[in-house]
Amino acid sequence: MLAATPKLQGKSFLCEKDFSREEFLYFIELAMKLKDEKKRGITHRHLEGKNIALLFEKPSTRTRCAFTVACIDLGAHPEYLGKDDIQLGKKESIEDTAKVLGRMFDGIEFRGFEHKKVEMLAQHSGVPVWNGLTDQWHPTQTLADFLTVKENFGHLEGIQFVYVGDGRNNVANSLLVGGALVGMDVRICSPESLFPAEEIVELAKELAAKSGGNVTITSNVDEGVAGADVIYTDVWVSMGEEDQFAERIALLSPYQVNMDMIRKTGNEQVIFLHCLPAFHDLETSYGKDIYDKHGLPEMEVTNEVFRSEHSKVFDQAENRMHTIKAVMAATLGNLK
Ligand code: CP
């Protein structure tokens, strides 16, 4: 049974702070319902006849596939538009492109660099716009992560959720703010030079004060991971920062998720999450290149942890689709 449906019709999904705690939790509840229906073969064509534009300025496996499959399951038609397919901001302004797309499509997903672009699409298109990742936020990832936490622990409130690694990337920002919004004990454990921006920490603290959550930013690994229910990490170098590998490896090696860190949590039930892709072995050309240049066979997470019973990363990846479906259905569908 779903809680009373919040009024989300027509709303864009750009970042966690745009939603109340109840609205954010509703997306997760709806995703659980849609996931259960899909497993039981019950169709849910809440977007029958709709057309959805999927704008990708960057490559993607999970987000693109999740939006595509979610659209089709909901009865909508997805149209993929890659960086060389349209003129977004190059030969046509974002405002003009948004107005054109809004005349033809019922909803727009955007993955790119500047957060301003997704805000402008939402401002000018007249249809719901969904953020598939910008330099600042990755909110559809947060929903999938929290659904995975809820599946494992039954609740989100009070969960000791620890993100280790680069504490100022889009995933860290989203988890910090999202965790505070839903009442988690959320911690960022990273080198001081990679602490989240002050305004993000302040925002998270304000939200935690309302939700009963807690926010900790620390560079001390022992302190940061003690008692953790969830250990989460992301790549040490984000797309576009590849020239910083040597510096990042030196800075972040003490924050690698390995079995020693898992033991330090003192919690046998601790789960490991990663938004993926992860560098945990030498099965990629990228990983081999790093190994040749820097001698590292694994980076932010060891293969042992990645393949251990603590790891829920493939459930988490699957949950991208169920949660993205919930966002589209709630903001564009005709849910009773
Ligand atoms: N986690 C994530 O956003 O994956 P993709 O880059 O494959 O979409």
User: How many residues are listed for the chain in this entry?
Assistant: 336
Position 136 scores a pLDDT of 98
- 300 C-alpha vs ligand 1 centroid, how far in Å? 16
> What atom of ligand 1 comes closest to residue 61's alpha carbon?
7
CA 260, CA 304: separation in Å to the nearest integer?
11
To the nearest whole number, what is the mean pLDDT of the chain? 96
Q: Is residue 281 annotated as a catalytic residue, yes or no?
A: no
- Please say if the pLDDT value at position 3 is more than 60: no
Q: Is residue 234 annotated as a catalytic residue, yes or no?
A: yes
The percent of residues above 90 in pLDDT, for the chain, comes to 90
Stretch 52-76: mean pLDDT, rounded?
98
The radius of gyration of the chain from alpha carbons, rounded to an integer in Å, stands at 19
Q: Is residue 275 annotated as a catalytic residue, yes or no?
A: yes
Position 2 scores a pLDDT of 60
Position 243 scores a pLDDT of 83
The DSSP output letter for 77 is: E
pTM exceeds 0.75, yes or no: yes
Protein residue with least CA distance to atom 4, ligand 1: 62
Each residue of 169-183: pLDDT tens digit?
999 999 999 999 999
- Residue 274 CB–ligand 1 contact under 6 Å: no
Burial 11-24 (b: 16+ CB within 10 A, else e): bbbbbbbebebebb
Stretch 52-64: mean pLDDT, rounded?
97
CA 142, CA 212: separation in Å to the nearest integer?
19
Q: Is residue 111 annotated as a catalytic residue, yes or no?
A: yes
Position 47 scores a pLDDT of 97
> What atom of ligand 1 comes closest to residue 111's alpha carbon?
8
- 209 C-alpha vs ligand 1 centroid, how far in Å? 31
- DSSP calls for 158-219: T-EEEEES-TTSHHHHHHHHHHHHHT-EEEEE--GGGPPPHHHHHHHHHHHHHHT-EEEEES
Each residue of 91-116: pLDDT tens digit?
999 999 999 999 999 999 999 999 99
Confidence of residue 299 (pLDDT cuts 50, 70, 90): very high
Each residue of 241-275: pLDDT tens digit?
778 888 999 999 999 999 999 999 999 999 999 99
- Side chain identity at residue 23, one-letter code: E
Query: Nearest 10 degrees: CA dihedral of 162, 165, 168, 174?
Result: -40
The percent of residues above 70 in pLDDT, for the chain, comes to 98
Position 301 scores a pLDDT of 98
- Residue 66 CB–ligand 1 contact under 6 Å: no
- Residue 131 CB–ligand 1 contact under 6 Å: no
- Please say if the pLDDT value at position 20 is more than 80: yes
Q: Is residue 141 annotated as a catalytic residue, yes or no?
A: yes
Confidence of residue 90 (pLDDT cuts 50, 70, 90): confident
Choosing from 46, 62, 115, 138, the catalytic residue is: 138
Q: Is residue 62 annotated as a catalytic residue, yes or no?
A: no
- 92 C-alpha vs ligand 1 centroid, how far in Å? 27
- 133 C-alpha vs ligand 1 centroid, how far in Å? 8
